[in-house]
Amino acid sequence: VDLGYIYDLKVRDGVAEVLMTMPHKGRPIYEYLVFQGGGRNTEGIRERLLHLDGVKDVLVDFTWEPAWDVSRMTDKGLRAVGLEP
């Protein structure tokens, strides 16, 4: 979320639906983030959401529109990658 990759998240009837993107098409790390995690997180998005009460399944959809840019990052995300908010 802090890096701005998550565009939408809804939970309905025990199913978490995530809409996300990547920073650019030349380096799509979708599978890595969804299933393995990254950085300080050892679990992917799917596993982390399955730990939430009431979530029984996770569907992750991927989009390039709208294009990601640095303005989508939170202050915490900017600091984590060494940028000033």
**CATH 3.10.580.10 describes domain 6-71:** no
Instruction: Compute the distance between CA of residue 58 and CA of residue 37 in angstroms, rounded to an integer.
Output: 15
- Tokens 């995300």 — which residue? 77
The pLDDT assigned to 57 comes to 95
Domain ranges of the chain: 6-71
One pLDDT digit (tens) per residue for the chain, 85 residues: 888 989 999 999 999 999 998 877 776 566 666 666 655 666 788 888 999 999 999 999 989 899 999 999 999 989 988 988 8
Which stretch of DSSP H or E encloses residue 75? helix 75-80
Instruction: Compute the distance between CA of residue 79 and CA of residue 7 in angstroms, rounded to an integer.
Output: 20
Which two tokens mark 2? 């802090």
The pLDDT assigned to 36 comes to 64
